[in-house]
Structure 1
């Protein structure tokens, strides 16, 4: 089946600050919303002119009816411009793009988010909840990792999706004191995850994802990981988002951003 990608001017419903420099952008994008799956992303032109020239990629954070939601951090010129956009304005958007997560109806699903890696996992949790409604034995566990408690986001959204949420902070200010990968190891000491049907989904910095790959391999589990990469074009044309895998270089925007953990080097 040919993949459908849409480019259109989309109206901003709201663009609200939820942290010091974190924002939630809601867009009325009926056609993109109807085609999106967790793990996919959109490319947004944040200004009408040529400064900045390149689009910015954003994971699809949540879909509700005709609306899509983006959770982003204003850390550069492009996202700073985006943070000033108001309800009623329009943005030129392309999407949905990329290869998303494969939703597996396993007994246990463990979602691991490092920092802004939380962005695509809320949509995933909501889709997994639909599987859970068909199988009461299914359980979704979410591990949220961040530097401090002030950098933990989306707890309410995950809990609303019926997830068991566990937190880790590097400074020990909330939850487990240490890295989220150490929390994952601790959780996996509970042998039910190793014996029963378990799938791990993760998004975060590359070192975190690489470590998760090693953890799941040693446990005999499977994981899907979403790479965080700057993707200028979103369709594999600019060749700027190449990532090395065991089968050669892949383009994160076209071949990913979701890969099987064992594919990564």
Structure 2
């Protein structure tokens, strides 16, 4: 897992377009942040047109091209609605790259990626930079929540899709085809996942059941993004018991074996 040097810079909007349904793709020219970004890290954006009332918002770094980086986001409230109105040439303040990211698979490992909804955004850079190709298991409520499927196929990854309503791929949760794949057996398998907490918990349980290593990127509320406010702490195991760690600095990526999904009494 890697951590790069943090940069606070004014970035320029290169493109901001609809991707699918209520999802959008934003590309920023970020000469200081983009070249340093590692898979699984994020940027904290101060969204324009919102005045000083709103805090920065964290977004996974989806793709990097030279001095530009892209993020995938869903319009769900005032902040992301304002972000969707940004146009090419607009500027905003960005802090990044932040967080503790994924480690790249070894050449003797078979990576299995598990994405829920726009959690896929945190996994694309990992898939692109991986020295070996593996399998992506992608899930969502409906077909509109399945993003970047063809982009992963273009990288040479096998893709399995599951939707809860059956409108794309198989009907059901993404962990169901994942389980079937794990039951087939295989050497050197390692799980990487990003998505809703319930999905991550299920992936962690499967990793434990099959005796596999897993790296999970947690989707926690982050206010400051730099470990000061302590709003994103999660309980983790330690050699002497357990403690809270910050998802924005010690995470968002954690080894599944150290995560405690409930605070011990």
Q: Which TM class, normalised by the smaller chain length?
A: over 0.9
Deviations 1:117-138 (A, max 9, x none): 111111111011xx13xxxxxx
Q: Is the 8 A contact 1:52 1:78 kept in 2?
A: no
**Equivalence map 1:72-87=2 (5 Å):** 72-87=73-88
Matched, 1:124 2:126: yes
Question: How far apart are 1:3 and its partner, in Å?
Answer: 5.0
Check if 1:244 corresponds to 2:235: yes
Larger mean CA deviation between 218-227 and 45-54 belongs to: 45-54
TM-score by length of 1: 0.92
What's the CA shift for 1:78?
Answer: 0.8
Query: How do residues 49-68 of structure 1 correspond to structure 2 at under 5 angstroms?
Result: 50-68=51-69
Q: Give SS of 2:225's match.
A: coil
59-68 vs 49-58, greater mean Cα deviation: 49-58
Structure 1 runs not aligned, ≥5 long: 133-138
1:142 alignment partner in structure 2: 136
Range moving further from structure 2, 64-73 or 173-182: 173-182
- Report the Cα distance in structure 1 between the residues aligned to 2:50 and 2:183, rounded to whole angstroms: 53
Spell out structure 1 runs of 4+ moving beyond 2 A: 47-53
Residue by residue over 1:162-207, the C-alpha shift from the partner in whole angstroms, topping out at 9 and shown as x without a partner, is 1000101111222222101112101112112xxx111110001111
- Which residue in 2 is equivalent to 1:185? 179
In structure 2, the CA distance between the partners of 1:47 and 1:41, relative to structure 1 (3 Å rule), is same
Equivalent residues, number: 254
Structure holding more helix per residue = 1
What root-mean-square deviation, in Å, do the aligned CA atoms of Structure 1 and Structure 2 show?
A: 1.5
The gaps in structure 2 that reach 5 residues or longer are: 261-265
TM-superposed deviation, 1:51: 3.9
Query: What does residue 39 of structure 1 align with?
Result: 40
* Residue 213 of structure 2 corresponds to residue 213 of structure 1: no
CA distance in 2, matches of 1:83, 1:186: 39
Say if 2:54 and 2:79, in contact at 8 Å, map to a contact too. no
